[in-house]
Amino acid sequence: MTTLQHYLQFTDLTASQYAYLFDRASLIKKKFKAYEKHQPLVDRTLAMIFEKASTRTRVSFEAGMYQLGGSVVHLTTGDSQLGRSEPIDDSARVISRMVDLVMIRTFEQTKIECFAAHSRVPVINGLTNEFHPCQILADIFTYIEHRGSIKGKTVAWVGDGNNMANTWLQAAKLLDFKVNVSTPNGYEVNEKIAVSAGEISAEHYQSYSDPMAACEGADLVTTDVWTSMGYEAENEVRKQAFAAWKVNAAMMAVAKPNALFMHCLPAHRGEEVDADVIDGPQSVVWDEAENRMHVQKALMEYLLLGRLS
């Protein structure tokens, strides 16, 4: 029996697989823009399981799968037996007998790992508390489109040491760039979670207490909500703790003159980022959102069909 290729965290693929996916996503995007049909997944079905809210992830996977010629089944905790405590391994056994691919957005990473362990088909992480690999896939593709290779570049992460920050760290080690991270005390990235493969060296990761210092000379400045899904009870405490970790024009001014700004969205103008930054000329957030669909189409095609020429 061949081992299934899942996409549960960024480290599940190699640098060479990423190089292929970025090229493929570029081709798939060109075809989409030219209204040219690209339907390698006719008769294939994707199940999308959401235990948390979503706009981009749902639309990008659903529209993307239809464009590839396939179809989708959308499940939430509220309208399936998942919300009535059917064991995750039983759900995986059943769902994966009927579909070709599964995308899950859930809470603990252990849940998606359990699902994958009992699934007959590839499983994709559509966000967990620990990781958001599809978003970083889109972000790096967007960086490449605007500025070329990310190798050797510096990304400044300002804000929460959350699923996005963890995934940036994994990507930095794998694709050989650096992440400067600045988080408030008590909200640091969990380096052990982020880099499951072991140590991360100073050439790939540096921690700063001052967010301005983290942005100095950066090629890309990025942030995310102060309160991620599942942590809503901490909202007010976090607003106090994160007040100095708002990306503003002064931070962009100490980054490289051609630095980009990214945010996975949804954004809160005036909280984690000022409006003049996210709506300003260095921001590529709309390309970043659109690119979710193109890279995920390349990913779904790859997980089901392998490398295509």
Show which residues are catalytic.
105, 132, 135, 224, 264, 292
Question: 81 a known binding residue?
Answer: yes
Mask of contacts with ligand NVA, 124-143, x by CB under 6 A?
A: ---x----------------
- The pair phi, psi for residue 48, each rounded to 5°, is -115, 120
Closer Cβ to ligand CP, 204 or 291, answer by number: 291
Q: How far is the CB of 70 from ligand CP (least distance, A)?
A: 20
Q: What is the dihedral of CA 144, 136, 189, 218, to 10 degrees?
A: 20
| Mode of pairing for the β-strands spanning 260-263 and 220-223 | parallel
Alpha-carbon span 235 to 249, nearest angstrom: 25
Please indicate if the annotation marks 266 as binding a ligand: no
Torsion from C-alpha of 199, 108, 9, 62, nearest 10 degrees: -160
Answer for which of 163, 167, 170, 282 binds ligand NVA (CB under 6 A) is 163
Stretch that binds ligand NVA, among 63-71, 87-95, 182-190, 221-229 (CB under 6 A): 221-229
Q: Are 45 and 73 in contact (CB under 8 A)?
A: yes
Where would I find the beta strands (DSSP E) of the chain?
45-50, 71-76, 101-105, 123-125, 154-158, 178-182, 205-208, 220-223, 260-263
Please give the size of the binding site for ligand NVA, defined by CB under 6 A: 9
CB 264 within 8 A of CB 291: no
- Is the separation of the CB atoms in 153 and 178 below 8 Å? yes
Q: Is 181 in the site for ligand NVA (CB under 6 A)?
A: no
Residue 212 CB, nearest approach to ligand CP (Å): 26
Q: Which does 55 bind (CB under 5 to 8 A by kind): ligand CP, ligand NVA, none?
A: ligand CP
Could you give the string, one character per residue 262-301, with x where binding to ligand NVA holds by CB under 6 A and - elsewhere? Answer: --x-------------------------------------
Q: Is 162 in the site for ligand NVA (CB under 6 A)?
A: yes
List the binding residues for carbamoyl phosphate. 54-57, 81, 105, 132-135, 264-265, 292
Q: Please report, as ranges, the residues that interact with ligand NVA according to CB under 6 A.
A: 127, 162-164, 224-225, 228-229, 264
